[in-house]
Amino acid sequence: MSLLTETRKLIVPPRTVPGPSPLARAAVPPLAPGALPGLGHAGALLRDPLGFLGSLARQGGVVRIRLGPRTVCVVTDARLVHTLLVALAHDCPRGAVQDTLRTAFGDGLLMSEGQAHRDRRRIIQPAFGPDRMGEYLAVMQQVTEERAGRWRPGQVLDVAKEMNHLALEIVTRTLFDARLSEDATVAFHRALPDLVKGQIVQSLYPNPALARLPLPVNRRFDDAVRVLNRVVDQAVNRRAATTGPGAGRRTLPALLRAATDPATGRPLTEADVRSEAITMFGAGTETVSTTLTWLLDELLRHPEVEARILAELDEHLPAGTAPTPEALARLTYTRSVTQEVVRLHAPNAFLMRTARVPVELGPYRVPAGTELLYSLTALHRDPVRYPEPMSFRPERWQDGGGSGRPSFLPFGAGKHKCIGEAFAWAELTVAAATILRRWRPTAVPGARAREVVWTTVQAHGLRVRLAPRGARSPRGRTAAASREGDAASSPGAAVPSSHGEPPPVRCPFTGTASTTGPTTAPTASPSGPATPAGPASPTGPAAAAGPRPSDELRLAADRHADWVVRRGLLTPAELPRYRAYGLQKLIGHAFPRVRGAELDLLVDMLGWFTILDDRFDGPPGRHPAAAHAVVDPLIAVLGGTRGGSPSESHMLVSWRELWKRQTASTSPEWRARAAREWRACLATFPAEADHRARGTVPTLGLDLTDTMKLRRHGSCLYPFMNILERVHGADAPAALHAEPALHRLRANTADAATLINDLYSLRREERQAGPAFNTVLTLQRAHGWTRGRAVHAVRTRVARLQQESEELRRDLLRRHPAGRWYLDGTRELVAGVLTWTSTSDRYLVPDHGRRR
């Protein structure tokens, strides 16, 4: 059973604000379903903490779960969590997870309760007073400048590691006026995972005595405690050899050593000093470094946000000026961005309290001794409180929007609210501003941030390549950001017009004229749909993406070829002809910003579907029973059927793997939509086979609209429109998905791509043994039209779809600006299909070698 879970998902299912219900009126919180004998819900919690905790919101505002023999109440309603932390703070002190650290580090501010907590907070508070913030800001900037100054152009940066070191150094230099050795810094970060794992495991022990057994997890936890104490001792007892900002300040250890314990009247002990120091190291390092990592990751995904931050910095914190509290207060958009990062990536997966007396939480009564658990990550992704919760939307924080305090609790609430909140916000802003002024990070393919859940939600895996920040445009935007913003509003690649004079076409692969094939749109011809004419124009949203390294697509093609052979989908002898299709180029054109593992996934998906489609050129395409035998097991996978039978086909086994890869770290809504649309796509194969068997292809009177109703889902465009969200890392806004106009745009996208494919595959498909589902051929046979007239009708329809789609995009963009990336993606899909179909060897005519 894994303690480590990687995910990025909507962890609270969409729901409306609940009214009174039988469960809500019950005095006893409901028990979550799915408890296993002996384990209870511990397995589900350890396997998928965020998914499990998020699912409980459907059961009620407080829900009971069982962790082995213990019963824990999970508080899922933000208002009740606020009540727990504020009104019930005295009656519900910290729980088992914090108790583990109290045993290791003593009663510091983080672990103490009652009067002891209040006394210690009064002693420490001056270290975080407004009069100290100016000094801290100067040190934060200097530390970040020093660290960023050691980076080099072209260097690949492990962002999480660098941000960990940066945050630790900032805490050490600001609060302790000390410097840690590099060995101590490395030891500190190596020890943290063992500390966190031990904290989780020991908090779940049914008997505290188990923590004293020489189990491996206990030994590693004890070793981590010793390491952290040594590192903290070094910071507490070693002053920095510096005359820079902050030199000679009264440090936190000095403040503590000068204080007396109000309870005894005696000076604080060195154990007290160490306890508070370890609190500041732990609380001030991991959560801040994690948030900085997510901030950089979100800026990579949203370059327009980065451009606005840089413009705001130019206006209110010009280069070369020292940050001040007044200057930071003017950075309102930057603050909105950091708030949104903290909301979407709340670092606390779960925290605990314990009811020492019977308490009431809303309509629920909780007995004394009950442990209460809540997840800030779940609360901050609640669609009731935060519409489109998985969308990164800094605008929700502007003009006071979204700032309902009971539902936004990154630093807690009440008497235990984090004492360093102002310090943390300032650190995030100063560090990000300093880094972004100096460096422009670009994502390394396949190395984006992913969520790893312990007691905190960490960011792992993000690596970026560094480039020096270039010259700024007069409006405060970088040249690259200006190009991206300008390109995003252009109409994109067009398709052949119906008048023989095609509008300009650009290659979305390079953003300029294509060098891998025709750079022009094809015009209608009585003998076929492809004769080149017209110039190319470098317009459209993909122009901003920049050229993809040519060897990246080649390497993706190599990996895909290895995959299809290993999976038994093709033999080595079949590979040369198959590779000539250049499927990786279609993905490169249609998804110009996809890199790394996501690129491999898309190429494997397209290749798998192409191989499946080719098999229906044979007997399964003419015999419904044979078609169902192939397709029905594939559809069953979408419903969650388990595999493992030795008799399963290579196609089915590889499909199970692909479905698992597609749905990893996606929301339940996305998975349901993807399953529904894959099901519709796969079901077209038996439907087409049935038409061929009954001789109803084409039917007399079948017009273009009826044909497209049969063809729309068979093109596989709907699943690939869904995958736009998978590779983007978040669902398109829920309100956008609810728009009828988007449904029409998606249908237009699928129809346009299908019709373009029909034009280029025409001559290949008319040579099939049975009637082909090709719109041009259907119009010829159903109406007796000439080839030229049928081609002209299809081309006219494509042009109209393209025009209507642009109108729909403009309308949707006005109402849903956060969905621009998705709307642009539908355009790029059609442009990619056009570019690839006009150059791919898949449509070569074997006997004459002519391209169709």
Query: Which tens digits make up the pLDDT trace of 516-551?
Result: 333 333 333 323 333 222 223 323 333 333 445 557
Q: What is the pLDDT of residue 790?
A: 85
Q: Mind listing the pLDDT tens digit for each residue in 30-46? A: 999 989 988 899 888 88
Length of the chain: 852
The residues pairing with 441 across neighbouring beta strands, listed in sequence order, are 466
Contact of 385 with 78, CB cutoff 8 Å: yes
Contact 176, 253 (CB under 8 A): yes
The pLDDT value recorded for residue 127 is 87
Cα dist. 540→244, 489, 754, 806 in Å?
50, 8, 21, 12
Distance CA 308, CA 476 (A): 8
| φ, ψ of residue 577 in degrees (nearest 5) | -65, -40
Adjacency order of strands within the sheet including 156-158: 156-158, 463-468, 439-443
Backbone angles phi, psi at 223, to 5 degrees: -60, -40
Question: What pLDDT band is residue 405 in, cutting at 50, 70 and 90?
Answer: low
Q: How confident is the model over 36-72, as pLDDT tens digits?
A: 988 899 888 888 888 888 889 889 999 999 988 889 9
Both tokens of 29, joined, read 């919180």
Residue ranges in 591-667 assigned as alpha helix (H): 596-615, 624-638, 650-663
Residue 132 phi/psi, 5-degree rounding, is: -90, -15
User: Pseudo-torsion of CA 649, 650, 651, 656, nearest 10°?
Assistant: 90
Report d(CA 94, CA 99) in Å as an integer: 8
Mean pLDDT for the stretch of residues 212-240: 81
Q: Cβ of 7: how many Cβ atoms within 10 Å? A: 17
The pLDDT score that the predictor gives to residue 658 is 93
Helix (H) or strand (E) holding 192: helix 182-204
pLDDT for residue 308: 92
CA distance 57 to 20: 15
Residue 398 or residue 600, greater confidence: 600
pLDDT at 474 over 60: no
Rounded Cα–Cα distance for residues 247 and 234 (Å) = 18
Query: Three-state SS for 592?
Result: coil
Positive or negative CA dihedral for 134, 139, 144, 150? positive
Give pLDDT, residue 508.
25
Q: What is the pLDDT of residue 310?
A: 92
String of DSSP letters for 690-712: HHHHHT-SSPTT--HHHHHHHHT
Residue 525 has a pLDDT of 32
What is the β-pairing status of strands 450-453 and 457-460?
A: antiparallel
pLDDT in tens, 104-145: 666 777 777 778 888 888 888 888 888 888 899 999 999 999
Burial status of residue 134 (CB atoms within 10 A of its CB: 0-12, 13-18, 19 or more): middle
pLDDT of residue 240: 43
The whole-angstrom separation of Cα 664 and Cα 654 is: 16
- CA–CA distance, 51 with 10 (Å, rounded to integer): 8
Would you state the pLDDT for residue 543? 32
Asked whether residue 623 carries a pLDDT value surpassing 60, the answer given is yes
- Three-state DSSP at 26 gives coil
How is residue 399 annotated by DSSP? Answer: G
| pLDDT for the residue 97 | 63
What's the pTM value of the predicted model, to 2 decimals?
A: 0.55
- pLDDT of amino acid 157: 94
Model pLDDT for residues 542-597, shown as the tens digit of each residue: 333 344 555 788 888 989 999 999 999 999 889 888 888 889 988 988 998 888 88
HEC letters along 341-376: HHHHCCCECCEEEECCCCEEECCEEECCCCEEEECH
CA distance 295 to 738: 29
Q: Count other C-beta atoms under 10 Å from residue 190's C-beta.
A: 11
The encoded tokens of residue 361 equal 């939480």
Measured distance CA(809)–CA(789) in Å, rounded: 30
How far is the C-alpha of 389 from the C-alpha of 730, rounded, in Å? 9
- How far is residue 488 CA from its own chain's centroid? 21
- Report the chain's mean pLDDT, rounded to a whole number: 78
Strand arrangement of the beta sheet that strand 70-75 belongs to: 62-67, 70-75, 371-374, 351-354
- Contact, 498 vs 796, CB < 8 A? yes
pLDDT at position 16 over 60: no
| Cβ proximity of 283 and 147 under 8 Å | no
